[in-house]
Amino acid sequence: MASVVFYFQVHQPYRLRRYSVFDADPFYFDSQKNGDICRKVAEKCYRPATNLILDLVKRHQGRFKVAYALTGVVIDQWQEFCPDVLDIFKRLNDTGCVEFVGETYYHSLSFLYSREEFKAQIDAHTKKMQDLFGQTPKVFRNTELIYNNDLAHFISTLPGADGKPRFLGAICEGVDNLLGYRSPNYVYRPPHTGDNALGKPFGVLLKNYRLSDDIAFRFSNRGWAEWPLTAEKFATWVNKINGDGFVCNLFMDYETFGEHQWADTGIFKFLEALPEKVFDVNPGHNDFATPTEAFMRFAPVGAYDVPHMISWADTERDLSAWLGNAMQSNALNEVYRLEKLVRQRADAAKGTGDAKAIEHARYLYEDWRKLTTSDHFYYMCTKYWADGDVHKYFSPYESPYDAYINFMNVMDNLRTRATV
């Protein structure tokens, strides 16, 4: 049995407006740009892709299943700029064929700097999923699949409301030099972690980056030897996993559909045809599963030992996309240096009972948290080889140096607000 696990990351940051050293107001975020981008991506991706997946779930009578990691900040922007998108996700949730996995609310790098903030953002995200969809996430993915053994241990021991371990397992990148001769198409476990709430070992699902990237990056590449990629061809590749694996983990940005790969490439027709082709290529031997179903269905076959940090970003699959130069390191250190002060301001305001002071402290705390979003530091990346074009595509700045200067100008003002 080859079970296809489709997982999509859905995220939009709060982009900063141009903020100079002469600015003194506390309005850091570019509402116009954020709204325009959110509405544009909703039109090109979120609406057509989610409506199509909803149709596929119904067409295949619940046999087609998917999973999403919706960041808190993308949901906040949907509620502000295009609430109908959230309504489509709610209808999809009602089918029972979608799983929402847990992550940090602000898509942050908080695990690297503050375990307290990391847990607080997971809790905030969990509450959001419960309030909107009635789901309590059972599987965790960290920002951009950043992962190591230490993170696995921390997540595996996080208690839920009942005091039992909250998560059954985690999602991360399948890195060749860590797997060695082994395949990413099995469930693994981190070393030295205990059992989950089901009494089974805490599990790890590894991204099959070759098959995932065939869709996410190579689909429209006319220079690729396998172009054009058809659903029939892809289904035969999935079917080959039978006999050498149990799961086909296809993890990618949701914007693959319609935004990164435009509609005229045929990406939506590919997605529409894929479930039927997967079912039919070897009847009875291939299906679709959510991450939780995969963990419940398959036992880990061995340990996936990750002593250093990995991610799904760039060719290096490490942290260099966010921590590859002195600007990024300095900006991140400055953000988390303010954490204690911002928390103290919030606690002190609550103690006064002054409604105005409480409101100001809340806005300060929320602004600080939006500044922990990883995208701000991604924009400061100075890579100019193969990955450089990717960084330039996503950045709203003319250069990484502009991104750093603008961010630090905002940080100076935030620091002033936190200390007065």
What confidence tens digit (pLDDT) does each residue in 81-112 have? 999 999 999 999 999 999 999 999 999 999 99
- Asked whether the predicted pLDDT for residue 390 surpasses 60, the reply is no
Confidence of residue 375 (pLDDT cuts 50, 70, 90): very high
pLDDT digits (tens, 9 = 90+) for 272-306: 999 999 999 999 999 999 999 999 999 999 999 99
- Asked whether the predicted pLDDT for residue 361 surpasses 90, the reply is yes
Q: Which residue shows structure tokens 């996993």?
A: 241
Q: Which residue shows structure tokens 């600007």?
A: 327
The DSSP secondary structure of 369-394, one letter per residue, reads HHHTBTHHHHTT----STTHHHHHHH
Query: What are the two backbone dihedrals, phi and then psi, of residue 278, each rounded to the nearest 5 degrees?
Result: -65, -40
Q: pTM (2 decimals)?
A: 0.95
> Which residue would you say has higher pLDDT here, 184 or 393?
184
Which pLDDT value is given to residue 31? 97
- Asked whether the predicted pLDDT for residue 391 surpasses 60, the reply is no
Q: Which two tokens stand for residue 259?
A: 């935004």
**Nearest to residue 30, comparing CAs of 260, 375, 356, 380?**
375
**Nearest to residue 113, comparing CAs of 324, 331, 306, 265?**
331
pLDDT digits (tens, 9 = 90+) for 171-200: 999 999 999 999 999 999 999 898 998 889
Which pLDDT value is given to residue 389? 61
pLDDT digits (tens, 9 = 90+) for 144-157: 999 999 999 999 99
Which pLDDT value is given to residue 384? 60
pLDDT digits (tens, 9 = 90+) for 54-82: 999 999 999 999 999 999 999 999 999 99
Task: Write the CB contacts of 227 (distance below 8 Å, at least 6 apart in sequence).
Answer: 218, 220, 221
pLDDT digits (tens, 9 = 90+) for 18-35: 999 999 999 999 999 999
Contact 411, 331 (CB under 8 A): yes
Confidence of residue 420 (pLDDT cuts 50, 70, 90): confident
117 is catalytic: no
**Nearest to residue 67, comparing CAs of 119, 14, 19, 3?**
3
Q: Could you give the C-alpha distances from 197 to 17, 116, 162, in angstroms and in order?
A: 45, 23, 10
Percent of the chain surpassing pLDDT 90: 89
Rounded to the nearest integer, the mean pLDDT of the chain is 95
Which pLDDT value is given to residue 411? 98
The DSSP secondary structure of 177-206, one letter per residue, reads HHHTT--SSSEEB-TT--B-TTSSB-EEEE
Q: Pick the catalytic residue from 99, 103, 117, 144.
A: 144
> Which residue would you say has higher pLDDT here, 116 or 350?
116
Q: Which residue shows structure tokens 């059992």?
A: 195
Which pLDDT value is given to residue 243? 85
Q: Where in the chain is the domain with CATH 3.20.110.20?
A: 2-297
CATH dotted code for 2-297: 3.20.110.20
